[in-house]
Structure 1
Amino acid sequence: MARTILTVTSPRNPVGLPAPAQIPRLPTPNCLTVDESRDLSRVLFQRLWTLPEGSADYSYVRNTLVELNLALVRACVSHFRHRSEPTDDLMQVGIVGLIKAINRFDPGRGVEFATFALPTIDGELKRFFRDTSWAVQVPRRLQELRLKLARSHDTLQQQLGHEPSDPELAAHLGATVDDIAEARIATNAYTAGTLEPPIDAEGNDSPLSRQLGYTDYGLERVEACEALRPAIAALCERDRAVLSLRFTGELTQAQIGAELGISQMQVSRILTRVLDRLRAVLLAER
């Protein structure tokens, strides 16, 4: 198959590749062996280097290189089988890394493409996990420090023969004790739990949300009522009646006036005076 491609030679085409308009349509990459794919990739990289970027021939050659080297993406994706992300999504991310590697690869340096591409694809996958797998986004500095902290902890534990302290970890990593504490806090942001699963401890099967404390605003009302009780008791009988009919009986001012035989205007004045007095008492208590 390589002999089919190497057909045109010229001083401007020293590797003997076809001119852009003469690039033949290649067989399906799936039909090639590993050695054939590697040899064909070398030839196509030489050809890609001579084509203007953005041309139809450039796109065709690059797409063929992507298909020829999909095995590199599968190899990198296989390292992350323990992750929960779908394999198809990881393949898409790996292909992006493969395309970046193809665009940056210089065949004139004499380096095998696989040697150059594998770190690029692997880095693209790790960047994907870094940017998407955290439940709460934290700075990249803390994400990287978290990984270094986990590795350094095991290393120091073996070297020292005891659980390493925060100052020892900080000295080993060239960081501060505050950085170590911040990285540990950032670890809690990697996954997020839910308050709905039941708790099995001590036979309690109610959701966790029912076990957590919350602010009971009713306590503030109880406190206010106890503080106002003496002040309400000190009111005259008519003032207490107006207050009770308005806020306990939920009557309108007109209905209260008809009930007590006074005008609506009098009811309004009584309520204003009584509420101002009670408000002053409540504020004085605080």
Structure 2
Amino acid sequence: MAPEAPRIDPGPSRRHRGTDSYDDIEPLFGEMDAAPEDSAQRVALRAEILNRCLPLAEHIARKFSGRGEAYDDLLQVARLGLLNAVERFDVTRGSSFLSFAVPTIMGEVRRHFRDNTWSVRVPRRVKEIQLSLGPTIEILSQRLGRVPRAREIAGELEIDLVEVTQALIAGNAYQTSSLDAPAGEDGESAARALVDSLGSEEASYGRLEDYLAVEPLLGELSDRERQVLRMRFFESKTQSEIAERLGVSQMHISRILSRTLGWLREEALRD
């Protein structure tokens, strides 16, 4: 069992609509770094950062639930990963905290599974590579300001892309569970057999992964393309409203959206 993470007051439940609680959190790191060591101000800022980012740890813990480990244990490990991310994040590099925290927390949870057992026989070479994935992803995330792609991980480790892919797949071979074992151990739903949940997936689980796939590509778009995407998907404006705001035709906005979304989809799926 991983060392106990410090207790963090989760505070009131937060809905992730509009602006997430961990968006624009980087300035707090700057203030924390500027505060004297062990000062009350530094302690308060650190606690604020941890509390604002708790939903991220909860989301990742829930994503790994149902694999033979209790949700409460996974949440404890995920919170420990969040604490590690806060301690290690270097705001001077200019990268977002989210792009660094996600692989750090997920790495901590994967290490928890890895240290318990492997339920499927995995070749030694693949195990060795899998052990190095967490630290490598963490280093690259800090350096690149986003989650690294498989090719970048292979380049950093100086190994073949196929080996990286095999190690990533092997990450699912930690521990098997009976299909009749109860799921929903997070207290948010009544216990039911794991088999009853097969074929259905919580819609919000994929949002974080979708964001991580697309986020590094947004910087390659033009200002106009990013502006149109922001108004359409974050401000929920219609194409006609966007066209009126920008002084162009609705058809022009339609073409921008179609071209931009097509390119993002193609690039995100490439790796």
| TM-score (norm. length: structure 2) | 0.39
Which structure is richer in relative contact order (CA contacts within 8 A, separation 6 or more)?
Answer: 2
Larger Rg: 1
